[in-house]
Structure 1
């Protein structure tokens, strides 16, 4: 009897232990191999309190801190702080950073309005309220973006400023203030935390009580259509099916289903900063960095990184910003620990080729690959011209074919280059494509994909193998049999003059070959040409 009771008690204890273990196993999230994601701290940082990190079109990383703006080129920092010069940045309290289509960097400060940095002159132009000139409803910027039409949206504690500038982005021509009165809404909460433009041009405004969506941001304020959702928003990014928002309490996904916006809870985790990267949601808050992965249509946590003083830990738990760079690394801004970088290991190549599916790559023989300043992809092929992939399209079915040669049997795209036209009223930029005779060279408007009229000069080129733009008015053209051309063009991209360079036995300083395979401008501005028979000049 005693043995029987002990046996029953042992069974009950064993069952209880198994139940606890099973519950623990069920509650534990799947774990990604610790070697998959590595964290390292960026060394020799000039300031450790980071508000925002921004990657510009040239690949520079801009770090906005509580004590200045810092540009990192992969090797060293250049710091911009307030000084007594005429073209200094307006404040050291950097809150937001973005870039316009001309490459100007716009900086929102927390106490002195907005600064514009011109990368060509390395000078700042400042816009802020003074006792004699009121421009905005506040000098304290909490969030700032430049939208796809080069309109600035600046948020603060009193509402939103929508700022229109002249075509050169030098002078403010109009400021609209979005607040309760102008939007004719009684629940427009003014404490703006984040502003975001999604891939469909909608403007999203996250505040401490509501998320707003403006579906027609380019009409007058009184005609704007504004939808609101009761959420305490802290961060927003584009996701696979809509936008992903981090709130004070959880992470949510907002998608358009049957012309209705649906809000789905993803995970009960505070999302102070958020990023969708490599099919994972990266979430930063006061407890460190988390990654969420999808399994069976459910998002589950797969990693948690914090400050634990190991080789693979964060330098600080308070994560303020997340972004990714051109190498696919995730940059993590912290309050007190500077910048950390997370990079994934064991990456696999993905292979995309021509298939019967409409929108696949047009040809498997690829001659050239180019990404324009809007992050659209141009792939030059041997037989089917250009395969053009818009920024948000998918590699499997998003390509558009562009024929580049009048003779379809010579529809080759040997080389591709882009020239930015900051002062043009006709084009933001032009994309130049070198091809075979008889077309030789074709120039496209980057936005409309329409070809410019072909000048007679192009008849002299024959086969164009190389292109290199050196500024917004000069492009170098390497040909198969006609040597090297330096071509100048005006603000609208129309050719004004050119110089042809060919071998001259009587001149020891002439170019050495008629056949130019590639052209490269070095860091000193020198032009290097690679000619036939592997000789460089």
Structure 2
């Protein structure tokens, strides 16, 4: 038990108390703040004026303090918490960063906020080791999570925009429960409970009054820029750039040449190509190419020339393996953009062969299969496949292929080359190349709803579906 001027040792059997003073070793005014018994022979004692190592066998002691001219000494003398990881390494949380004891047990490796921006704050109140080997640090500005294997940092800070976020920034205590739940005691914010077993969504509410929030409740599309940043398209709120670390949205101001009201765009689809160009498909305002490096953009509108679109309503965008950008319109087929010529090749219902599209031209999704063929789904006329080998289209409809519905809202070509089609009211279809037929999965197979808006494949090969009644997940191996 740490006290002013020393510590007390209580014998649990006899309940006798032994008082041990440290003023002679550490100086007057010293207080014991933290303890750690590293092994049967050594006890580490953290104080407000330095660190003390006590040999439990011989009774000998060794003192460690901060030396301004020695970078391998402690970064601060106020030792608030001490913890040992699975490899036996000892960490000391101080008023000025984290210190790791080196193998010689004489020197330290320091970790400071000035060296890593993901380190929440240098004032460390508490430390506790998670089962996965991650060290949770309670700081004056949230929680810092330190991966002891990779020495990488991440953090959790309070955010009023998060429904299930940390209640207060000053985290003074941490408790790791055996069931994996992590309890965080805060200063003036009560207790926050982190349960990794709960499958909760980190909901981002929209607010027209929050300059760093989501401006529209209707989110139509995403494009991942990096692991930590995502472009977000909205209907009526324009384009946003979301920073996952900060939990805030940057509003990207893009104005249409044909909208004098200057209202935010209604975005229908987003696609980030291999050059880093973000393609933005809108309702009634054509196509925007946004350069993420220069933060400039170019707008393409419907017109008669080869550099114009065939229509201003863009529902689908896909880059193929040759670097061409396929743009699906709402009634005039596809426009294929070539960077080399800065122009569009149009394939629609009014085009001449071989570019005549055997479809109503209301394109809803575009994917490329392993053979380089482009699959174009439509709202009402099934799926048209542009075959690279002969430059012709092949059509799959309910009448000739067993497609469950000719209104196909979404497509996916998975990692094994399988084509999945999400329909408007008939569920999910899987294409069999050998037979040229589709197999249907619907609510009788466990699908939450038969309207499938989007299909994605996870890293583990599972197929994820967004529907009109939540999210469904399908294992393609078991078909469940």
Task: Compute the TM-score of the two structures, normalised by the length of structure 2.
Answer: 0.47
Higher Rg: 2
Higher relative contact order by CA 8 Å / sep ≥ 6: 1 or 2?
1
Task: Compute the TM-score of the two structures, normalised by the length of structure 1.
Answer: 0.43
